[in-house]
């Protein structure tokens, strides 16, 4: 799936050492289907060459406003009119100050002033430069003017210092550009998600768990963030990176057992939508051993199970009605081996939730692909086989309409 198909992006490169990361960014944007038109300032060419960027993007690189290869000699107008967005990477303190004042003395700054498309900037500079009152004034002015700032992050800087001003990684910038273009159907909404398996300890080294990679839940978290929501992701043991972490719009709580997941979820259940995607172990161990249970010939241990709390059921019980709709709007998931629609709908009614999503097997566990059957009181709707992120975006679209 390409998330930037048919998007035309002007990639503006200004003069900063982080410019060395722009070839990788251009490739990532193109892999997602975007066409990339590079514009470079004079200083940018000290760090990366137009030849590199032209070879990678397949498009001529523009560096001067006096370029007569553009038929009407108005590169600053022509290039921005064709663009869906201008993305400036890295955004130097100097360029940001210029743009915040509306100065236009080279091709990139003139193009930004003459644009009729969104402008995104990924700042990159030394921490003192970032913290300087003048730069902070630029940031404030640019934000007021509707410019989207991507980062910066805090960390090791090329100059050897550590602090705020480090540019986001190309993959993080690409993810945010993709997010920028998604429909903002959940703007201002709070979304709670459980994801991954739970692990029930038998002793300090053994335990039982469920099959679940966490990919579907994490994809829903990313899609909800892309739609403008604030997300709380409660994750069982899985090794997936937190989606769009640098936006600061996601909180992640890691848990191990179903009991821990239950407590963390109930504590965070003041939300607009709850997606229960986790594969929660139905039974926990009554008395987990404090020490490793020793093997004793052919003897097998007798393990007593206890029922785990049903997290989804308990959140659904707290739901109130807001504007005639259940609040939070609870969405359950069901993996069934037979009769998916019938069993999933029974589960939906038993748990008292408005929507349940059936995983249409058989290759759902750990796979990047899935097929879904979305069931509510009005009937069912199939979402055809696709990457989990694509399914998650469609599901978010459906749920957004319900609330």
Q: Among all residues, which ones are annotated catalytic?
A: 159
Q: How far is CA 236 from the centre of its chain?
A: 18
* Window 184-223: contact mask with ligand C5P (x via CB under 6 A): ----------x-----------------------------
Candidate segments 61-69, 88-96, 167-175, 307-315, binder of ligand C5P by CB under 6 A: 307-315
Q: Smallest distance, Å, CB 351 to ligand C5P?
A: 7
- Name every residue whose Cβ is closer than 8 Å to that of residue 247 and which is 6 or more positions away in sequence: 176, 179, 225
Dig out the tokens for 316 from the structure: 């659904």
Kindly give the pairing relationship between strand 199-201 and strand 207-209.
antiparallel
- What secondary structure does DSSP assign to 9-20, as a single string? EEEEE-SSGGGG
Displacement of CA 257 from its chain's centroid (Å): 25
Choose which of 310, 341, 346, 387 interacts with ligand C5P (CB under 6 A). 310
Q: Does 374 bind ligand C5P (CB under 6 A)?
A: no
**Contact range with ligand C5P by CB under 6 A, out of 86-94, 241-249, 326-334, 367-375:** 326-334
Nearer CB in complex with ligand C5P: 71/337: 337
Instruction: Work out whether 233 is an interface residue with ligand C5P (CB under 6 A).
Output: no
CA dist 273 to 229, 312, 401, Å? 10, 12, 12
- Rounded Cα distance between 63 and 87, Å, is 16
Stretch that binds ligand C5P, among 25-33, 83-91, 150-158, 328-336 (CB under 6 A): 328-336
CB nearer ligand C5P, residue 60 or residue 288:
288
Least distance in Å: CB of 311 to ligand C5P? 3
Per CB under 6 A, does 329 bind ligand C5P?
no
Q: Give the total of residues touching ligand C5P (CB under 6 A).
A: 14
Q: Is 311 in the site for ligand C5P (CB under 6 A)?
A: yes
232 near 191, Cβ under 8 Å? Answer: yes
Report if residue 332 touches ligand C5P, rule: CB under 6 A: yes
Chosen residue from 278, 372, 373, 396 binding ligand C5P by CB under 6 A: 278
Rounded CA-CA distance 104/99 in Å is: 8
Question: Residue 276 Cβ, how far from ligand C5P at the closest point, in Å?
Answer: 3
If binding is defined by CB under 6 A, does position 276 make contact with ligand C5P?
Answer: yes
Beta bridge partners of 156: 162
Among left, alpha and beta (phi > 0; psi -120 to 50; other), residue 266 is: alpha
Cis peptide preceding 362, ω within 30 of 0: yes
Question: In terms of Cα–Cα distance, which of 10, 9, 4 is closest to 31?
Answer: 4
340 contributes a contact to ligand C5P by CB under 6 A: no
> Is residue 280 a contact residue for ligand C5P (CB under 6 A)?
yes
Question: Which residues are within 8 A (CB) of 299 and not within 5 positions of it... i.e. 6 or more apart?
Answer: none
Question: Does the protein bind ligand C5P through residue 370 (CB under 6 A)?
Answer: no
To ligand C5P, the closest distance from the beta carbon of 328 in angstroms equals 13
Name the residue nearer to ligand C5P (CB basis): 137 or 259.
259
Q: Which parts of 84-188 fold into alpha helices (H)?
A: 93-101, 107-113, 127-131, 133-144, 170-180
- Given the rule CB under 6 A, which residues bind ligand C5P? 194, 258, 276-278, 280, 308, 310-312, 332-334, 347
């Amino acid at each position: 799936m390409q998330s930037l198909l048919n998007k035309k992006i002007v990639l503006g490169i200004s003069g900063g050492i982080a410019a060395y990361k722009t070839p990788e960014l251009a490739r990532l944007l193109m892999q997602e289907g975007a066409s990339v038109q590079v514009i470079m300032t004079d200083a940018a060419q000290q760090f990366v060459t137009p030849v590199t960027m032209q070879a990678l993007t397949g498009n001529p690189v523009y560096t001067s406003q006096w370029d007569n290869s553009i038929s009407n000699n108005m590169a600053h107008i022509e290039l921005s009119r064709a663009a869906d967005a201008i993305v400036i990477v890295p955004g130097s303190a100097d360029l940001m100050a210029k743009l915040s004042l509306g100065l236009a003395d080279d091709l990139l700054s003139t193009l930004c002033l003459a644009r009729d498309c969104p402008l995104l900037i990924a700042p990159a500079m030394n921490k003192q430069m970032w913290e300087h009152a003048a730069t902070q004034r630029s940031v404030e002015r640019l934000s007021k003017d509707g410019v989207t700032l991507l980062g910066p992050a805090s960390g090791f800087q090329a100059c050897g210092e550590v602090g705020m001003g480090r540019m986001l990684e190309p993959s993080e910038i690409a993810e945010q550009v993709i997010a920028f273009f998604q429909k903002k159907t959940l703007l201002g909404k709070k979304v709670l998600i459980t994801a991954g398996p739970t692990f029930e300890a038998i002793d300090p080294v053994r335990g039982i768990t469920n099959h679940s990679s966490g990919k579907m839940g994490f994809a829903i978290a990313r899609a909800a963030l892309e739609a403008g929501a604030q997300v709380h992701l409660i994750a069982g043991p899985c090794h997936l990176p937190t989606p769009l972490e640098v936006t600061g719009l996601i909180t992640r709580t890691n848990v191990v057992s179903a009991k821990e997941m239950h407590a963390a979820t109930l504590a965070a259940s003041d939300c607009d939508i709850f997606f229960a995607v986790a594969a929660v172990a139905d039974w926990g161990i009554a008395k987990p051993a404090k020490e490793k249970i020793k093997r004793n010939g052919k003897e097998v241990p007798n393990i007593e199970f206890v029922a785990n709390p049903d997290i989804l059921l308990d959140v659904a019980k707290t739901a109130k009605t807001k504007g005639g709709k259940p609040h939070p709007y609870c969405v359950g998931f069901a993996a069934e081996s037979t009769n998916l629609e019938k069993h999933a709908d029974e589960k939906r009614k038993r748990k008292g939730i408005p929507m349940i999503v059936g995983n249409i097997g058989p290759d759902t566990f750990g796979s990047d692909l899935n097929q879904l059957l979305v069931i509510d009181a009005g009937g069912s709707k199939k979402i055809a086989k696709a990457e989990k992120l694509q399914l998650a975006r469609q599901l978010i679209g459906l749920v957004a309409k319900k609330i």
